[in-house]
Structure 1
Amino acid sequence: PEVQLRLALLAGHPDRVARRQGERGLALAAGGAAQLAEESVVRSAPWLLALSAHATPRGIRVNVASAIQPEWLLELFPDSIEEDEQVTFDEAREKVEARWRVRFGGLSLDEGPTDGAPEAVQRVLAEAATRRLQAIWDPEQLEGLRKRVAFARQLDPSLPPLESTEGLVASLCEGCASFAELRALDPLTTLTAALGPAGYARLERLAPSHVTLRGGRRLRVNYESSREPWVASRLQDFFGMSAGPTVGEGRVPLVLHLQAPNRQSVSVTSDLAGFWERHYPAARRELGRRYPRHAWPEDPRAAQAPKRGRAR
């Protein structure tokens, strides 16, 4: 009879189901929390029905409660039982965690760890990785890769796009579940796989990461959405060259930031031949006075670029 009475009460008040949290705390199926009155005789039941409650300055207080069994919810309200999967990122452990859950309203009837849907794991990891990018990779390297692809696609739209750094991060997160796995990845290798061998070879031809000058100096190419690709190096490193380096399979001359030996700017040009002809004579006189220990030949096109680390 007592069980039948409690079943009847539950059948009439499913919105008052609660689960104990601690000694007197309650989580309510309808949402929110409450406190069980000290005088309640329902001392240890983990699941109960909050039959009478009122608001106090400290929150909701349940005065009258009745113990129930969680399996009764399955019997009486099968259509109200929901199953879901929670995929979250553990900031301390730096990894994605997934748990399955069977719940009634906001209360968990049963739960446990699971692998998680691959798409959800990738999304959650990508969100965390984007927030904490510097903890995993060099953000400038990722942005540089994206800008290289964007520039190459201007010349060859058949290349697949990387529309944002976030998009590149998301592709890197595929098949991973932790920062440790991401740190073990080489973004360039992943980009190569995404473009395919032919696509990556095309990227290297259209938008190489570096160019090598005639004297052997290897320069990183800077790609930016707001201006033409550019490189920076000492003016002397361009000795022996009648024209500047190019990208885009020879179609796009690089903008050259020509520098003095102290790395201060001397000139910015994409026409090295014109610079040698029109501006170098004056620059030679000025640099010769400021840096007499360095060689400043009359004809830079016929001169040899200095070796790395040598002044002359």
Structure 2
Amino acid sequence: MSLTQQASRAAPGAGPTRRPSPPRSRRRAAETRAGYAFLAPWLLGFIALTAGPMIASLYLAFTDYHPIRGGSWIGLDNFDRLFDDPRFLDSVEVTSQYAVIGTPVKLAAALGVAMLLNSRRRGQGTYRSLFYAPSLIGASVSVAIVWKAMFNDQGIVDDIGQFFGMPAGGWVGNPDLTLPMMVLLAVWQFGAPMVIFLAGLKQIPNELYEAAQMDGAGAVRQFFRITLPMLSPVLFFNLVLETINSFQIFASAFIISGGQGGPANSTLFYTLYLYQRGFGQGQLGYAAAMAWLLVIVVGIITLIFFRTSRYWVHYSGEGR
């Protein structure tokens, strides 16, 4: 009996260990090096463009830093000053109203159009493309310029409003109408959530609707008893993404207000005021504190969504 067999019998459950042959070890090492080589550009970009700036901004949030004069460590003073700044409070109010009003309206429009496009009809692909096209443009400068021209004084929207008896003056210069105008711009670009809703609707078995019709359930009851529960995971996904996006609005507000947030701070969104403080006035420490406060608030809101999702999000195959 060989020594290996004797050792195997002497230690039950312990088999002979085999070391990888040198060629296999070298091959694994080469594969590892190749993997790191392909990963290196992403790692360098992440460190240089994401992790590095985040760490730097976290440091700046506790300093009174100016790009020319430099700065010094001031601790939590920037965060204390935020809540004594009336323009900061105005930006929080405007952004909160935009998120609370714009997100549900945008999702409702996206879901409504998705349900219309879910049925089979002639030219369905063309309709989907037309409704999705505005999302391809995004919140670009050109869209904001066109939107401002449409809603400005003597613009096409103003002319239509005067035709139906509304007072002249346009929406851009009216503090009571600027926020609805921004909400309409967001709703107009509902293509991305619409496509996601449409994909979710395709996954709902048609047998559920047939059984509900046999039981005498109407369209409204089918919507609340079948469509919404089956679509709740997709609705949750869209709700989280669109809420986060609503707190990041900048380009359209900057173009429409000329970078000032007017009139009467009605378009002074959070990120626009952050830009004014950081790059307009050179108060990078104050702007960094605003940025990190936004990260914390958005993180808390997202956490609340995930914590409460257990009560209204239903996944297929999940026991209830």
Which interval holds the TM-score relative to the shorter structure? under 0.3
TM, length-normalised to structure 1:
0.20
- Greater C-alpha Rg: 1
Q: Which has the higher helix share?
A: 2
TM, length-normalised to structure 2:
0.20
Q: Which has the higher strand share?
A: 1
